[in-house]
Structure 1
Amino acid sequence: MNRDDLIDFVYDEAATIDQMRWDDWLALFHKDGRYWMPLEWQQEDPILQPSLMYEDRLLLTVRVERLAGERTFSQKPKSRCHHLMERPRILSMGEDGGVHRLRTSFIYTETRGDLLERYSGWVSHELVEVDGALQIKLKRIDLINFDAPFSNIQLFI
């Protein structure tokens, strides 16, 4: 994988969320992949410290099925979102056990009906190659206002 492949992956992953292609998005995760939103600044441990979200592939699958379901009344009308991102910074290109690390600043907007929520911060990706394709081993979202009260985040940042 070259630098452009890594950067394109991050942009394409956000596009699958913005386009609500949930099955395609879920397929980007490694079988042991995690989606993590820490509750504290520079939090190191998602297990022994509380997090806003810490989801494995099974929990992500349940959420995707809920979002795609016709009987999900909390999604009538459906939520929509948009990612506005800086160019991802490559922190490493596989030197650490084959893990590619990237960090991207973002502004994320989520809307449903007449409600509009905005979040900003940094997303970190840890990507691995499996059969020639990149997969997400860890997606970590560090919100700038992590300590603020939040309404329900319906989709995925």
Structure 2
Amino acid sequence: MSSTAGTGVDLATRIEIHDFYAYEAELLDDRRWEDWVDLFAPEVEYTAPIRVHRKSPAPDIIDELGHFDDTKSSLTLRAKRLRTDVAWAEDPPSHTRRLITNIRVRAGETDTNLVVRTNFLLYRSRGDLGAFDLIVGERQDVLRREGQAWLIAKRRIIIDQSSMSTKNLGVFL
């Protein structure tokens, strides 16, 4: 099968990646956090740097500071903690819906890697007061083929808001 318009990735693989991201969103929205963590490679870097507003040409993303900078171990601990009675930021748990769009797939540096950029919209509501959060941004991933499965080897999350109105980031992006 031919690759799609200069991406170096064939159509069957692109469809597989789309299905992968739909499944990932389903796991998170269904609160299946332990299964979600299994989608990550052991050496994963999971980061969300801070966005600021500056005059050009200064960069608007500060990689040295972040909302979080996780490893597989810390993601595992965060997922397990959500099942306890001490996860106060998520008690009661949020109701979430993730929309993953604009999936752009490119060949990676090796035959087993892909570079994928996705846009996301996270709708999150808690309690019964009608309040909700919208968190929007882009995820920059490196996926690695391991046997028949894809693993997320790196994820960098760029949140569009520099000042977020949400009270906490107790959910995964």
Scaled by the length of structure 1, what TM-score is found? Answer: 0.85
CA distance in structure 1 between the partners assigned to 2:90 and 2:68 by the alignment: 19
Gaps of 5+ in 2: 1-11, 52-58
How far off its partner does 1:87 sit?
3.8
Question: Secondary structure in 2 aligned to 1:58?
Answer: helix
**Residue aligning to 1:62:** 77
**Residue aligning to 2:4:** none
**Residue aligning to 2:136:** 120
CA distance in structure 2 between the partners assigned to 1:37 and 1:75 by the alignment: 20
Question: Secondary structure in 2 aligned to 1:24?
Answer: helix
How far off its partner does 1:37 sit?
0.7
In percent, how many aligned pairs have the same letter?
25
Q: How many residues align?
A: 151
Gaps of 5+ in 1: none
Structure whose CA Rg is larger: 2
**Residue aligning to 1:2:** 13
Scaled by the length of structure 2, what TM-score is found? Answer: 0.78
How large is the Cα RMSD of the aligned pairs?
2.0
How far off its partner does 1:93 sit?
2.5
**Residue aligning to 1:21:** 32
Question: Secondary structure in 2 aligned to 1:156?
Answer: coil
Q: Is 1:144 aligned to residue 154 of structure 2?
A: no
Q: Indicate which of 21, 45, 48 corresponds to 1:37.
A: 48
How far off its partner does 1:119 sit?
0.8
Where do 4+ consecutive residues of structure 1 move more than 2 Å? 40-44, 70-76
